[in-house]
Amino acid sequence: MITFTLETPRFDKNSLSCLFENIDLIRNNQSFINTRKKYRNIKIKGIFSAGLYVGGTEIPLGVLLDLWNNTNWHTDNKFYFNIVGSPLSGMNNCAWYDYTTKRIETGRVERWHYLAPTALNRVQKSKDYLFRQQQLAKWRDKNKRENSSFAQWSKNVEKNNIKYYECPKVAKTLTIFQLVDLLKQK
């Protein structure tokens, strides 16, 4: 029997606490956040969506706010932020912030089949994701290696004639702590 496991990134409890302690401030400033790439691309470990066999993704702050405002990622007093499961069996493990109790809770959710693909779709259609994909495609086209045989590659290694290509790096984004400080001063 083959068994597959899917692990989500460990939660960054301090960053999640900062996010949820300031959830009203952040949600009230959503349009301000979404107009600036460095704010909407803030990522927090543990804000994630994945489906076994279909893949997973981190969810940047701008997409998370969109999910909370425009999908079922926010129902009643629950703000979902981590959804992982299997589309075949329906087994899942989800995490959410309960606005009433002010606590992070975990458990299974019946409608996770809708929640996980929605997040993947929103991340992949976000303008920053599409821009990054275009940058990578241009870089790959510009740095294509010549097709060569293993024998030719071996000769190049012996002659120390191997070229290494580095992928362009992504600009560093701010932390949730820096964003909250900025919003409080605004």
pLDDT tens figures, 28-62: 999 999 999 899 999 999 998 887 776 778 899 99
Mean pLDDT value of segment 14-33: 96
Q: Residue 15: is its pLDDT beyond 90? A: yes
Lowest mean pLDDT, pick from 53-67, 102-116, 139-153: 139-153
Q: Residue 66: is its pLDDT beyond 90? A: yes
- Return the pLDDT at 153: 60
Q: What is the mean pLDDT of the chain?
A: 80
Q: What is the pLDDT of residues 118-139, one digit of tens each?
A: 887 778 778 777 776 777 677 6
* CA distance linking residue 128 with residue 33, whole number of Å: 13
- Return the pLDDT at 134: 72
* CA distance linking residue 138 with residue 167, whole number of Å: 11
Q: What is the pTM assigned to this prediction?
A: 0.73
Task: Enumerate the domain spans of the chain.
Answer: 13-131+170-185
Residue 81 near residue 16, CB atoms below 8 Å = yes
